[in-house]
Chain A
Amino acid sequence: MTIATAPQRRRTRAETDLEQAFEAMASALPGDIGPRAGAFARFAAEGLPHRRVEAYHFTDLRSLMVSAPPPAPRPSAKTRVSADVFAAVDAARAVFVDGWFMADLSDLSGLGEGVSVTSIAAALATGDEVLAALGARLDADVTAESDPLVGLATTFYGDGLVVRVAPGAVAARPLEIRHLSSGASVSAFVRHAVEVGAGASLQVIESHQSPNDLEFHAHTLTELTLAEGATVAWTDRQKEGDQAARFSSLALSLGKKAVLDHSVITLGAKLARTQIFARLGEACDLTTRGATLIADRAHADATLFVTHVGPNAVSRELYKSAIDGEAKSVFQGKIRVEKTAQGTDGRMGAHAVLLSPRAEAMAKPELEIFADDVACAHGATVAEIDDTLKFYLMSRGIPAAETERLLIRAFLGEVTDAIAHEGVREAIEAELDGWIDGRVAR
Chain B
Amino acid sequence: MLEIKNLHAEIEADGREILRGLDLTVKAGEVHAIMGPNGAGKSTLSHVLAGKPGYRVTQGTATLDGVDILEMDPALRAANGLFLAFQYPVEIPGVGNMTFLKAALNSQRKARGEGEMSTPDFMRLVRTEAGKLKITQDMLKRPVNVGFSGGEKKRNEILQMAILQPKLCILDETDSGLDIDALKVVSEGVNALRSPDRAFVVITHYQRLLDHIRPDVVHVLSKGRIVKTGGPDLALELEAKGYADFADEAA
Contact = CB atoms under 8 A, between A and B. Distances in A.
Contacts of A122: none
B104 interface: yes
Contact of A388 (B90, B93, B103, B160): B90
Interface stretch (B30-38, B70-78, B130-138): B70-78
B104 A392 contact: no
A399 interface: yes
6 contacts: A387-B53, A389-B92, A393-B103, A396-B107, A398-B107, A413-B94
Contacts of A389: 90, 92
Nearest to A396: B104
Given A392-B89, A394-B75, A406-B99, A414 B94 contact: yes
With most chain A CB atoms within 10 A of its CB, the pick from B73, B84, B103, B111 is: B103
Interface in B90-138: 90, 92-95, 99-100, 103-105, 107-108, 111
Contacts of B104: 393, 396-398
Nearest to A389: B92
Contacts of B141: none
Contacts of B221: none
Closest 5 pairs between A and B when the two form their complex, measured CB to CB = A410-B94, A397-B78, A397-B108, A396-B104, A394-B74
Interface in B139-181: 143, 160, 164
A289 to B, nearest CB: 14
Contact of B95 (A395, A397, A406): A406
B41 interface: no
Interface string A7-43: 0000000000000000000000000000000000000
A402 interface: yes
Given A391-B53, A394-B78, A400 B94 contact: no
Given A400-B73, A402-B107, A406-B99, A395 B50 contact: yes
Interface string B60-85: 00000000000001110111000110
B67 to A, nearest CB: 16
A337 to B, nearest CB: 30
With most chain A CB atoms within 10 A of its CB, the pick from B78, B99, B105 is: B78
Contacts of B105: 397
A399 B107 contact: yes
Contact of B107 (A387, A388, A397, A407): A397
B160 A407 contact: no
Interface residues of A, number: 22
With most chain B CB atoms within 10 A of its CB, the pick from A389, A394, A400, A414 is: A394
Interface of B: 50-53, 73-75, 77-79, 83-84, 86, 89-90, 92-95, 99-100, 103-105, 107-108, 111, 143, 160, 164
A409 interface: yes
B164 A396 contact: yes
A387 B93 CA distance: 14
Interface in A361-396: 387-389, 391-396
Contacts of B50: 395
A213 B48 CA distance: 47
Contact of B94 (A391, A402, A409): A409
A409 B74 CA distance: 21
B100 A393 contact: yes
Contacts, number: 78
B83 to A, nearest CB: 8
Contacts of A391: 51-53, 74
Contacts of A397: 75, 78-79, 104-105, 107-108, 111, 164
Given A387-B53, A396-B164, A410 B78 contact: no
B185 to A, nearest CB: 21
Contacts of A399: 73, 75, 107, 111
B78 A395 contact: yes
Contacts of B108: 396-397
A400 B99 CA distance: 16
A202 to B, nearest CB: 30
A410 B74 CA distance: 21
A411 interface: yes
Contacts of A406: 95, 99-100, 103
A396 B95 contact: no
A352 to B, nearest CB: 15
Contacts of A400: 73, 75
A402 to B, nearest CB: 6
Contacts of A393: 92, 95, 100, 103-104
A411 B94 contact: yes
A398 B90 contact: no
Contacts of B51: 391, 394-395
Contacts of B94: 407, 409-411, 413-414
Contacts of A387: 53
Contact of A396 (B52, B100, B143): B100
Contacts of B90: 388-389, 392
Given A388-B90, A406-B95, A406-B100, A396 B78 contact: yes
